[in-house]
Amino acid sequence: MRPLEGSTAEDAQGVSPGRRLGMLWRLMPLLLLLVLIPFGWVIYATAERGLRGQVESQLETVLQADVAALRLWMSDKETAAQLIAAQEAVREPAAELVEASAQSEAAAQSQAAPESPAAAAAGRRLAAAMDPLIRGTSAVGWAVLDGEGVVVASDDPALLGTRRPDEQAGFVDGVLSGATLISHPFFPAASGVEDGGESPAQEPVMYVGSPLKTDGDRVFGVLALRLLPQEFTQVLTVARWGESGETYAFDGEGRLLSRSRFEGQLREYGLIPDLPGVTSILTMRVVDPGYNVLRESPPADLSPERPLTRMAASAVTGSAGVDAEGYRDYRGVPVVGAWTWLPDSGFGVATEVDVDEAYGSLAVVRFIVIVLLALVAVAALAVLLASRSLYFLRVRHARGEKQSDRLGRYQLEEKIGAGGLGEVYKASHVLLRRPTAVKILSQERLDDEELRRFQREVQLASRLTSPHTIRIYDYGIGGDGTFYFAMEYLPGVDLERLVEATGPMPEGRVICLLLQVCESLQEAHGQGVVHRDIKPGNLIVSPHGGELDFVVVTDFGLARDFSDGEPAAARGAGVAAGTPRFLAPEALRHGGVIDESGDIYALGATAYYLLTGSEPFDADTLAAAVRSALSEDAQRPSERLGRPLSADLEAIVMQCLEKDPRARPHSIAALAAALRSCGSSGAWSAADARIWWTERGRDVEAGRAEGRAAQSGGRADRG
């Protein structure tokens, strides 16, 4: 049976895993509630903030799209008016009519159009020229005004001799000053309900005006093309949000300049008269009614004064903004909106959508959170009701907990490491009492093929007899199918921890340690076994037979047997096994199995680390280190250190790190021979090691426990 993690010191004090399990079960409902209630609130608050940001962004996007379409429409109308006003066939008769109007005292007194034959002829020529010109536009009529704002020609005879309305004085004066402008919608004559409310009101119109100029560029009149406000309204529907979204325009007094999307509701609830010809344009103001007219009755204390909505009050001051919190619109319905003021046109544009639609998805999140908390509460009640029956399970577990610390013939004592493939426990043989390290492989990471592979690799690793190779004692499968193997327990520290604690090593010591690794790998390679994960973390310095700098190669968990002659590409292709920062470029590039030259490269990278205290490609991220290993040459160790190194040793290290496997030493035996020929070879003795450990042993004492874990690959950064 597989042991429970961490069942060591606490068990010795009389608290068994079964009792801890029982206490956990009793506390679990409360813990779940304490965790999930704030967690649910955080989820809801986060969703609300995120959705509010999306709402603001979408409102601004819709507004910008509609404003852009509106500006394009206005520019198109202004361009058309300018082109028509520049036509000689228009300017000449228009100038004659304006001149005749100015010279006719009778026309000035009676505000009647000139009736001279010349003026009548000019009017006919102008009408003949205008008819085909406006046919290609969306204009529904035209008029020519003189410098006093009097209509001297028009397609509508009823307009002849009339003077521009006072509210359009700014529009006419602006055109006479040389600008091409579009007017706001306005009623062309006295509008409203007449005859006791039975007559329809006149529909509003709007004009685009362009100056009429002489050849000398003097403005003598205004050409005005009549437009329908419905077209103006349609432009503001280019972008619209959902079922309740609306973009509309309004003037400085808050009057609608475009038609409301909710005109039916406005009539139904009496906000505009329900009469033929009456629309929301100019008859509806963007004011806050003080209540939701669609759902509520008017309050008794409702003030007759209606202030502008929060949006309109901001916009008419010339401000732009967005409000995702919500405010009442001109129906009293809570909405969110974005708005801007167009100073060159003298009106504002707003886009709004009902709060209920904008935040509809938030209600779903709220429902999910409530349901989740309700389920937790139900689960908590169920756990409390079942706690009595769990007592018997705890007793049964307590009776069997001593057996749970056994795995085969080994008594597990404490967990000393964990890696990507399993966990390592310090243990002892039940009969021999020999200290042992037991590695339990993770069942979640193993399928049948992986299990067979590990069995094969444990078998091949157990054939290795070098004292510098970790010894495999035994392997087996527990009663629950757990695969484990027992190996030599090393009470030492790995070279990675050693360098971290004390810094780079002298050359003689590096050569001494590397030669021991070469001895282990030479035997392994001779039997067709490639380690594939040589690195400082898998090399343990442990006392052995009086030697203090005795190196043992560990973690043959990734080793492969090539003695059967099967090609590398056929085994594990596509999986770059090992530690990327120490893998040979060919393994990184092809993501497959490496041969003996890969171990030589990794040993060269290890030597580089021992000499400099850093990896050959020491980048901020693993991805950057891999890119450098594939495309760049490593910096020479002496350059990295900032001081000279023996040329012969540095040359060997750099040769091991060659990108081309053929340029590296052709075997471990050749590498060992090259190391022995170095001038620093033999400069480190057993006596030197004893002195060093006496002086520096305390610096690495803290790393011994983690060093023991390294024999399991517990500190490996595979991947």
Q: State the pLDDT at residue 276.
A: 85
Average pLDDT of the residues of the chain? 81
Please tell me what DSSP assigns to residue 444: G
Across residues 308-329, what is the average pLDDT?
94
> Pick from 550, 509, 542, 557: which is nearest to 714 by CA?
557
> Are domains 240-294+305-357 and 491-710 of this chain identical in fold?
no
Q: Are 17 and 401 in contact (CB under 8 A)?
A: yes
Across residues 624-641, what is the average pLDDT?
88
Half-sphere exposure of 179 (CA within 13 A, CB side): 12
**117-135 and 88-103 helices, crossing angle to 10°:** 140
To 5 degrees, how large is the angle CA 130–CA 131–CA 135?
A: 110
Distance in angstroms (rounded) separating the CA atoms of residues 295 and 89:
59
Q: Are 25 and 390 in contact (CB under 8 A)?
A: yes
Interior/surface letters 264-302, b for 16+ CB within 10 angstroms, e for the rest: eebbeeebbeeeeebbbbbbbbbbbbbeebeeeeeeeee
Band (669; pLDDT cuts 50, 70, 90): very high
Band (652; pLDDT cuts 50, 70, 90): very high
Catalytic residue among 533, 549, 561, 599: 533
Q: Which amino acid, one-letter code, is at 159? A: L
Burial of 532 per CB tally in 10 Å (0-12, 13-18, 19+):
buried
Q: Are 503 and 495 in contact (CB under 8 A)?
A: no
Q: State the pLDDT at residue 557.
A: 56
For the domain made up of 90-231, give the CATH fold: Beta-Lactamase (3.30.450)
Band (454; pLDDT cuts 50, 70, 90): confident
- Please state the domain extents for the chain: 1-85+359-404, 90-231, 240-294+305-357, 491-710
Q: State the pLDDT at residue 717.
A: 42
Q: Has 217 been annotated as catalytic?
A: no
Across residues 652-656, what is the average pLDDT?
95
Q: Are 232 and 221 in contact (CB under 8 A)?
A: no
Across residues 389-416, what is the average pLDDT?
62
Band (529; pLDDT cuts 50, 70, 90): confident
Q: State the pLDDT at residue 174.
A: 93
Count of Cβ atoms closer than 10 Å to residue 545 Cβ: 6
Least confident of 23-32, 427-436, 589-598, 612-621: 23-32
Alpha carbon of 364 to those of 47, 359, 368, 369, 371: distances in Å?
Answer: 11, 10, 6, 9, 11
For 547-579, how does the pLDDT look when each residue is reduced to its tens digit (9 = 90+)? 899 999 988 755 666 655 444 433 443 344 557
Least confident of 124-128, 319-323, 485-489: 485-489
Q: Which amino acid, one-letter code, is at 110? A: S
Residue 716 has pLDDT above 50, yes or no: no
The architecture of the domain spanning 491-710 is Orthogonal Bundle (1.10)
> Pick from 627, 678, 629: which is nearest to 649 by CA?
678
Pick from 359-363, 518-522, 619-623 the range whose average pLDDT is largest: 518-522
Across residues 595-603, what is the average pLDDT?
92
For 161-198, how does the pLDDT look when each residue is reduced to its tens digit (9 = 90+)? 888 888 888 899 999 999 999 999 998 864 443 443 44
Per CATH, the number for 240-294+305-357 is 3.30.450
Band (380; pLDDT cuts 50, 70, 90): low
Q: State the pLDDT at residue 107.
A: 46
| Bridge partner residues of 287 (DSSP) | 308
Looking at per-residue confidence, does 455 or 228 come out higher?
228
Least confident of 273-277, 286-290, 537-541: 273-277
The sheet with strand 472-477 has its strands ordered as 406-407, 410-419, 422-429, 435-441, 483-488, 472-477
Residue 83 has pLDDT above 50, yes or no: yes
Band (114; pLDDT cuts 50, 70, 90): very low
